Structures are given as structure tokens and as C-alpha cells.
Amino acid sequence: MKLNNLKPGQTARVISLGGEGALRQHFLDMGILPETEMTLVKLAPMGDPMEFRLHGYELTLRVSDAKNIEVELLDKATEQKTPAKKETIEHPGLGEDGKYHKKGSGNPLPEGTRLKFALVGNQNSGKTTLFNQLTGSNQHVGNFPGVTVDRKDGMIRGQDNAVVTDLPGIYSMSPYSSEELVSRNFILNEKPHCIINIVDVTSIDRSLYLTMQLLELGIPMVLALNMMDEMKGNGGSVDINSMEAMLGIPVVPISASKNHGVDELIRHAVHVAKNQEGPLRQDFCSSDDNGGAVHRCLHAVIHLIEDHAKAAEIPTRFAASKIIGGDNLILEQLKLDDNEKEMLEHIVIQMENERGLDRNAAIADMRYAYIRRVTASCVTKPERSEERIRSQRLDTILTGKFTAIPMFILIMGTVFFLTFFVIGPFLQDLLAMGIGALQDVVARGMESINVNPAVRSLVIEGIFEGVGSVLSFLPLIVIMFFFLSLLEDSGYIARVAFVMDKLLRKIGLSGRSIVPMLIGFGCTVPAVMSTRTLPSDRDRKMTILLTPFMSCTAKLPIYGFFVNALFPKISWILITALYLLGILVGILVALLFKKTLFKGEAVPFVMELPNYRMPQAKNVIRLLWEKTKDFLHRAFTVILIATIVVWFLKSFDFHFN
């Protein structure tokens, strides 16, 4: 049977995975492999996409993609047995001074070297939160996959000469999306002195898949197990010593949101970077696994390409696993001759015949097999997750078949009502009173010292009235971003994308495009910037062109001026109608684009659904401060100049009288 034939609550084991190209590789990277068990959690309200649970996390797939996956139905999911208590393993002491790594061991960098760190992790793993803790920076944090849309740099606090780069969230080192290319190219070309790999310990099976690939690079590395507070709170635990021994790198449990363990993480990272202590283990295939077919293939290819990999300055083990999987970008860089390419193909075909899997699935299965051994030996998973139970309860209402759309309309309607007709106007009046009082004080002061009338007119009638009128809309902008930040931080925005995918697909977009459009109601600039998280160039361009049809808060002064002047009694109805008209025109333009400029289908909707979390006050306040500062910066530059020009034209004739 096909995966799309499952009913909610049913579990099936994957037999084979169809499809081809980058999308199929992405499915493999996300853990959809032969023998993987997948449980259908629910369907979106419109019947598409589908939400599955596998490897301890939730993943969405469209029905059309699920049709390519052959499965067999199981009576029930296989129970995860708690591993028997093992002997205590002595602390390996990786990334520390002392008897394990004496001063001067490894290959120490010269004194005074500027240390470069790369912060790498899955989307929604807490990476940006950790970056803020490491640097004291003010990057935006959200509970939606893909908050980091570009690389960001910052100095590590407490370190004189250490810079960390926050790279876009990725699930593997395969070039599926532009984010993965940015991260991979940075690591291969910029050659950081150390990688800080952050993983979500609550879904550690899937998270360690990226870790396996990073270890193949041979770069000094520290593993940060984030959200340990959640895992411990649910009764789970991790044997840190055993995990360090099995992975060959320092492992540090942290809670980025609470700043627990971050100082220890910095100490370990700086130590391995300064001393260039690389991973002690890179070979995760065994000659005993499935007859050793993958093991023999990998080592044969390593010997075949070793000289080419050194010449291209690409880690040999990493290059070997990538070209076996058909990574053409790496293959081009190696510059193999025709005989070597032919030999490579023979080696890989022999491995496929012996293993009974295609090349991509065999490499992915090799990595997940070792991950299963690591988690079985080191991780005691909680029997139940309070966060997941809470999310399931909320989802029965927020993504329910008959309640999802009404709840979305209710929530967004409440946001707009509170922003434009309750909280916003109240704060606008307070701000206007404050500006008016300050204007009176300045006017009296200038009059008392006999300031030139022209200068007085410029300050009072030009600057105060011009900039003041624009500043009066600051509360609306701040309140709008406040509510959008709450929705994103809580995890609801990801559900909106899930619910709206089928609807947006009718106009040629995927559900992910709903996020930039919602942000567009606050401000078009960050909305356009956020489109960089979309995996398709077609979707990015189309979403950018449609976002301006969502009426941002900068358009409110225009709406308010004309509506209050012409129809004061029904102003709120007309303003709402103007917003709806913008959406309607956007839909019509999208349908036109779908038939002309952007022919074709939207990209597959493959997205992880995070658990709902309580929005953190610090994150929300940080975002509001950034937006307020940005608005004020604009108000006192472009708008200040514009108001002076308007005042000048209004106050003087062509003879400057």
C-alpha cells in the first residue's frame, strides 16, 4: 500500500521510497528510509498535507509526495525499550585541559589567532537563541522553521578574539536548498576553527543525522544538547560520557533559552579551537553491518579519490560519502578523469547490488544505523512528553477539520481589532498628548528667547507636526509586531502554513508563503527578507511580488486620512474593507502570475511542526525594541528630510518670501 492510504492513528513501515533527485534525497535526510515506522497523526483540514510522526518528531508531507512511498501496515508501533543500565564509563575529558589533553597537545594555533566558530544546527533547534546567548546579540528568535535567513556574525562574550557565525538552519549537508548551500560553502570555503553543532535533544534521532556529516569534515567540533531541561522534566536523560566516547567529540548539555551550560560550552569550544583537536572518530560504517557492503564501498572510494580531495581541499571522508550519493557539485570539484569516474560507478553499483538499496538510501541508512546505536547506548527517552501532549490538545482545535479556518479568522481578526481599534488608538492618543505637550514647551521656550519666526515655524510647524504625525503610528506598528511575535514564538505560525498549504497551492504557492504574507501586514521590508527561507527561487520571487498587496502599517496613515475625512462614521468598516481588497487583488494577481511569469507547481511542502511553547518575554521585548528602533531611525532620517521639504514649499513662494 502507499503511505497516503493510511488513516489517522495508523502506523506503517516503509518498504521503498520512490521519486528522484534532490527531493528524494531530502526525504532520506529527514529519516524516511526503508524499515522506518511512520504514524499518521492527522490530515490538514482540507485533506492535504498530511502530518506524520517518525524518529520522535512531526513531519508534514503532501498527499502527492506520500503516494511515492511504499509501506506495509502494522498493527501497532514498535515499543521503544528502555536500555538496560550499563557500566559507568570514565569521563573521556574531550575538549578539556588536564590528563586527557595536556597543554600543547593537538596542533595548537599561534597565539593571537582570531578564532572563527560556525554555529550549525537544524531549523528550530534553538540555534539563534544560543547565538544571542553566546554574543549578547539581538537576533530575532521564533518557533518557526527557518528564522535565520542569512549568516550573522558576532563576537563571543568574554573572549577577546573569537567570532561566531550563525548559519541558516539545515537538516543535512546535501544541497537541497539555498540555506544548505550557504552553510556548506561557508564550512568548506571559510574553514572555521571549530563547529558548534546544536541539536534538539527531544528529537535526537533526527538531529544527529547532521552531526554524522559534520564529523566527516574532520573539523574540531563541540556538540551542544539543547532543551535538556525539557527532557529531564519529562523523565529522560543522556549519558554524556558514553556519547562523548561514541562520537569522539565534547558533548555539553545546555538550555539555550535559560542560559544553562552556555559558559561550559564556550570553554570547550575555545579549547578545541585553540588546540585544533579534531573528532576522534569519523568512520561510522562497520564491516559487520549488512555484510559490510557500504563499509567496503566507502573505503574503496576514499582510496580512489584521496589525492583529488587533498588537491581540492575537501575532507576525503566527506567527499567520498557525498559522491557515492551522487553529489555532482563535489564530483566537479574533485576533477576525476573518465577512468576514475567509471571505476567509481562500478564500485557503487556493486555496493547497491550487495546491500539491496540504492546508493542514496544506503548511505543514509548507514548514518541512521549508527545513530540508533548511539541513542540505544546513551539516551533514556521519556515515556511521555508534556510538551507534545499539550500540543496535541491545542491542535485538536487550532488545526481541527472544522475549527482550523474559523480559529485562524478569529485569531487574526482579534489581532487586527486590538491593534487598530483598542490598544493602538489608546497608545496613539497618549503619544499624541506627549508630543503635543513637548511641542507647547518648545514653542514657549523659543518664543521667550525671541527665536527667528522662520526657525520657530520650521521646528513647530515642520518638524513637530510632520515627524509627530508619523510617530503617532508607531504604536500600531509595535502592537502588530507584538502579536505576530507571540504567534510565531508559540509555534502557531507553523500550523497556519500547514492549514493553508492546499489553499495557497491553488494560486501557485506553498503553505510556507503564508508567513511572509502575514509579516507583510506589519511591515513589507522584513516580509520580503523572510522569503529567503523558502526553498524555491520561483516561490521566493512570486511571494515577494505579492507581499506588497498585504496592507502594511505604513499604509495606515493614508487609509486613515481619507477614510476619516470622507466617511468618519464607518471608518473601521472601510479600513477593514481596504485590507480585504488588498488580499483579493493579491489573489487575482497570483492567478495571473501562475499562468504567465511563474508557470509550474509550488515546491513540496516538507516541514517539521514544532511543539507549542510559551512565548518568552525577553524574545518578544527584543523584537519590539528592534522594530521600534528601526522605525524611529527611518522617521528621523527620510521622514525628517521630507517634512522639512514640505514645510519649505508650504511656507515660501518662488521669490523666497
Please report the sign of the dihedral spanned by the C-alpha atoms of residue 129, residue 130, residue 132, residue 133. Answer: positive
Per domain, the residue ranges of the chain are 3-79, 115-275, 289-364, 396-483+610-652, 492-609
Say how many C-beta atoms besides its own lie within 10 A of residue 579's C-beta. Answer: 18
Confidence of residue 421 (pLDDT cuts 50, 70, 90): confident
Location of C-alpha cell 583529488: 308
Say if pTM beats, i.e. exceeds, 0.75. yes
Concatenating the DSSP letter of every residue in 202-262 gives: GGHHHHHHHHHHHHTTT--EEEEEE-HHHHHHTT-EE-HHHHHHHHSS-EEE-BGGGTBSH
Residue 381 has pLDDT above 90, yes or no: no
Element (H, E) at 625: helix 617-634
Contact present, 206 and 55 (Cβ < 8 Å): yes
Q: How many residues are recorded in the chain? A: 657
Coil vs helix vs strand at 646: helix
Task: Determine the pLDDT at residue 79.
Answer: 56
Which of these ranges, 12-16, 400-404, 456-460, 475-479, has the smallest mean pLDDT?
475-479
CA distances from 473 to 70, 72, 429, 597, 617 (A): 55, 58, 10, 36, 23
Amino acid at 165: T
The band of 636, judged by pLDDT with boundaries at 50, 70 and 90, is low
Q: For residue 518, what pLDDT is reported?
A: 78
- What's the rounded mean pLDDT across residues 210-223? 93
Choose the CATH number for 3-79 among 3.40.50.970, 2.30.130.10, 2.40.40.20, 2.30.30.90.
Answer: 2.30.30.90
- Mean pLDDT lowest among 74-78, 132-136, 537-541: 74-78
115-275, superfamily in CATH?
Answer: P-loop containing nucleotide triphosphate hydrolases (3.40.50.300)
477-535 pLDDT, tens digit each: 788 778 877 887 888 888 888 998 888 888 888 888 887 887 787 767 667 766 766 76
SS3 content of the chain, % helix, strand, coil (to 5): 60, 10, 30
Name the band, by pLDDT with cuts 50, 70 and 90, for residue 314: very high
Buried b (16+ CB within 10 A) or exposed e, 56-69: bbbbbbbbebbebb
**Are 3-79 and 289-364 in the same CATH fold?**
no
Q: Give percent of the chain with pLDDT exceeding 70.
A: 88
* Mean pLDDT to the nearest integer, 32-57: 91
Q: pLDDT tens digit string along 135-146?
A: 886 444 444 444
CA distance 420 to 293: 65
Percent of the residues in the chain that have a pLDDT greater than 90, as a whole number: 35
Cell numbers for 479, please give them. Answer: 502592537
Q: Return the higher-pLDDT residue of 41 and 428.
A: 41
Top-tier CATH class for 289-364: mainly alpha
